Amino acid sequence: MNYSCTNTLRVPNTSLRSLVVVLVLIVSFGLIGPATATQRQEASQHQAINEVIQRYIEGGKQGKSAIMKPAFHEQATMYFVASGNIHGGSIQGLFDAIDKAGPSPSLIGKIAAIDVNETTATVRIELYNWGGARYTDQMSLLKTNGAWKIISKVYHQTK
Amino acid sequence: MSEVKVIKNVIQGYIDGGVSGQSEQMKSAFHEKATMHYIADGEIQGGPIQGLFDAVDSIGAAADLTGKFADINVNETTATVRLELYNWSGARYTDQLSLLKIHGEWKIISKVYHQH
């Protein structure tokens, strides 16, 4: 048997040349190609922060504050505004509410923005269907001995 | 006035207090329960915002201090602001502030910062 691949491999010369030119341009302008040290560092910071936030969301889903506690620093606070008034205080208020509310399996949390600045960061999270409610969280985090901890949570409930 | 402009005005009060070295000038920008935290040697430091007021009064005037708004993210009753601060008595900081809209007035409830 004499198989020939000639037909399947044949690429018109002009198309091939165009492809090579495009690839060279992409690489030379850095659109693809190896990430810089800064980009890699930023990606790993985002990943570490993402893991902390996922722990918080998972605690909400399961209705178990013990799951989310490691995401927060012990001095963390939570505040919100209702009818113009400020409410909240120690993060313990969140843990108590979680344990009281119980599981919320339909909860979906989406990280909308992460802004990292070496030892500090802010994260905006969109939360859907948390016991039927819709929230936006704005968290502040600090990097303690390599581990990110939430120090401040403010949130808005969309009516 | 846009919400962003209102927030900028509030934060300008904080910067002005830093320039004059008089905490009285910045107090109205903060809620009384506000906190300030930062990292030193890998540990969280800070606590009540009074720590900032005491530091500002003790440092005194910082005439060359300038603040630049790098990012403002508003969400109805909450907001975060990233503020780049240059030459605060020679030091360079980035602040990340959380604010709440209480009875129509924006107040800083949390400040975290990094010294460069």
ipTM score of complex: 0.94
**Whether A142 and B82 lie within 8 Å, measured CB to CB:** no
Instruction: With beta carbons under 8 A apart, name residues in chain A contacting B96.
Output: 115, 117, 120-122, 140
Tell me if B98 sits within 8 A of B31, measured CB to CB.
Answer: no
Q: What is the mean pLDDT of residues A95-117?
A: 96
Tell me if B99 sits within 8 A of B108, measured CB to CB.
Answer: yes
Q: For A123, name the nearest residue in chain B, comparing CA atoms only.
A: B80
Q: What distance lies between CA B100 and its chain's CA centroid?
A: 13
What tokens does B90 get?
């020679």
CA-CA distances (angstroms) from residue A95 to A63, A65, A82? 9, 5, 20
pTM of the model: 0.85
For every residue of B68-116, which 3-state class applies, written as one string?
Answer: EEEEEEEECCEEEEEEEEEEECCEEEEEEEEEEEECCEEEEEEEEEEEC
Q: What is the mean pLDDT of residues B51-78?
A: 96
Confidence of residue A35 (pLDDT cuts 50, 70, 90): confident
